[in-house]
Amino acid sequence: MRRALAALALALVVAVSVAAGAGARSEATGPLTVYAAASLTEVFRVFDGGQNYNFAGSNALEAQIRNGAPADVFASAAPLNTQRLFRAGIVDKPVTFTANRLALILPKSNPAGIRSVYDLRSKPVKLVVAAPGVPVGRYTLTVLRKLGLSGVLSKVVSRESDVKAVTGKVALGQADAGFVYVTDARPVSDQVTVVRIPAWAQPRVRYEIAVVSRSSNKAAAQAWVKAILSARGQTALKDAGFLPIPKAAS
Amino acid sequence: MALVFLVLPIVAIFARVPPGELVSALGTDAAKDALIVTAKTNAVSMLLILAFGTPTAYWIATRSSRLRDLAVTLVELPLVLPPAVAGIGLLAAFGRLGLLGGSIEWLGIDIAFTQTAVVLAVTFVASPFYVRTAVSAFESVDPTLPAAARTLGAGPARVFGRISLPLAAGGLGAGAALAFARGIGEFGATIMFAGSLQGTTQTLSLAIYEQFDLDFDVALAISAVLVAISGGVLLSVKVLTRWRSGSTSPIPFAPTTRTSG
User: For A92-104, how does the pLDDT look when each residue is reduced to its tens digit (9 = 90+)?
Assistant: 999 999 999 999 9
Burial (CB count <10 Å: 0-12, 13-18, 19+), residue A59: buried
Chain A neighbors of B212, CB-CB under 8 A: 60, 63
Residues B128, A190: Cα–Cα separation, whole Å: 38
Whether A114 and A178 have beta carbons less than 8 Å apart is answered as: no
- Is A8 at the interface with chain B, CB within 8 A? yes
> Is residue B122 a contact partner of residue B186, using CB atoms and an 8 Å limit?
yes
Contact B196 A63 (CB under 8 A): no
Q: What is the largest CA-CA distance in chain A?
A: 68
Angle value at C-alpha B111, between B109 and B115, nearest 5 degrees: 115
d(CA B213, CA A66): 10
Nearest of B36, B38, B25, B20 to residue B219 by alpha carbon? B25
Q: Is B81 on the interface with A (CB under 8 A)?
A: no
Mean pLDDT over each residue of chain B, to the nearest integer = 87
What pLDDT score does B246 carry? 55
More confident residue, B23 or A219: A219
The arithmetic mean of pLDDT across residues B229-241, rounded, is 84
> Are A133 and A160 contacting, i.e. CB atoms less than 8 angstroms apart?
no
Under an 8 A CB cutoff, do B195 and A128 touch? yes
DSSP for residue B160: I
- Are A128 and A178 within 8 A, CB to CB? yes
Listed in sequence order, the residues at least 6 apart from B124 whose beta carbon sits closer than 8 Å to its beta carbon are B78, B86, B89, B90, B189
pLDDT band at B110 (very low <50, low <70, confident <90, very high): confident
- The Cα B98–Cα A111 span in angstroms is 14
Residue A17 has pLDDT above 70, yes or no: no
CA distance linking residue A126 with residue A154, whole number of Å? 10
Among A8, A131, A158, beta carbon nearest to B201:
A158
- CA nearest neighbour of B187 among B80, B82, B61, B115: B82
Dist CA A38 CA B207 (whole Å): 20
> Measuring CA to CA, which residue among A158, A170, A215 is closest to residue B199?
A158
**Spatial separation of the C-alpha atoms in residues A170 and A178, rounded to whole Å:** 6
Contact residues on chain B for A8, CB-CB shorter than 8 A? 1, 4
What is the Cβ-side half-sphere exposure of residue A111, based on CA atoms within 13 angstroms? Answer: 17
Average pLDDT, chain A: 89
- Number of helices (H), then strands (E), in chain B: 13, 0
Closest by Cα among B249, B58, B243, B71 to B137: B58
Does the CB of B205 have a partner CB in chain A at under 8 Å? Answer: no
Q: What percent of chain B has pLDDT over 70?
A: 93
In which band, very low, low, confident or very high, does the pLDDT at A3 lie, cut at 50, 70 and 90? Answer: low
Which of B91, B195, B212 has the CB atom closest to A158's CB atom?
B195
pLDDT at A131 over 70: yes
Could you tell me which residue, B145 or A101, shows the higher pLDDT?
A101
